[in-house]
Homo-oligomer: A and B are copies of this chain.
Amino acid sequence: MGDVCLVIGAGAGIGGHVGKRFAADGYHAALCRRSDQDGLDRMVAEIEEKGGSASGHLVNAIAENALEELIADVETHIGPIKTVVYNLGAQIGNRALSDTGLKVFERGWRMGTQGVFRIASTLFPLMEQRGGGTMLVTSATSAVRGNAGQHSHAAAMGGRRMLCQSLNAEFAAKNIHVAHILIDSGVNAPDTLGKMMGEENFEKLLDAKGRGKDGLMEPSAIADTYYHIAHQHRSAWTFELDMRAFSDIAWWNHPLNLNI
Query: Which residue from B114, B170, B250 sits with its C-beta under 8 Å from A97?
Result: B170
Query: How many A residues are at the interface, by size bracket?
Result: 35 or more
Q: A164 — which chain B residues lie within 8 A by C-beta?
A: 146
**Residue A236 at the chain B interface, CB threshold 8 Å:** yes
CB A27 to nearest CB in B, in angstroms, measures: 18
Contact between A106 and B97, CB atoms less than 8 A apart: no
Cα distance A175–B255 when bound, in Å? 22
Q: With A149-B170, A170-B149 known to touch, is A97 a contact of B121 (CB < 8 Å)?
A: yes
**Residue A158 at the chain B interface, CB threshold 8 Å:** yes
**Residue A177 at the chain B interface, CB threshold 8 Å:** yes
Cα distance A96–B170 when bound, in Å? 7
Q: A237 — which chain B residues lie within 8 A by C-beta?
A: 243-246
Q: With A169-B249, A175-B246, A235-B218 known to touch, is A155 a contact of B163 (CB < 8 Å)?
A: yes
**Residue A35 at the chain B interface, CB threshold 8 Å:** no
**Residue A215 at the chain B interface, CB threshold 8 Å:** yes
Query: Which residue from B144, B158, B159, B221 sits with its C-beta under 8 Å from A232?
Result: B221
Contact string, A246-259, partner B, CB cutoff 8 A, digits 1/0?
A: 11111111110000
Cα distance A174–B216 when bound, in Å? 16
Q: A148 — which chain B residues lie within 8 A by C-beta?
A: 166, 169-170, 253
Pick 28 A–B contacts, CB within 8 A, sort by A: A96-B170, A97-B120, A102-B118, A113-B155, A117-B155, A144-B162, A145-B165, A145-B253, A146-B164, A146-B165, A146-B168, A146-B169, A147-B165, A148-B166, A148-B253, A150-B166, A155-B162, A158-B161, A158-B163, A169-B253, A172-B244, A214-B234, A228-B228, A236-B245, A237-B244, A238-B243, A251-B252, A255-B255
Known: A148-B166, A225-B228. 18 other contacts (CB 8 A): A102-B114, A109-B159, A145-B165, A146-B167, A147-B165, A147-B169, A149-B169, A154-B163, A154-B166, A155-B159, A155-B160, A215-B235, A221-B235, A224-B236, A228-B228, A238-B241, A240-B241, A255-B255
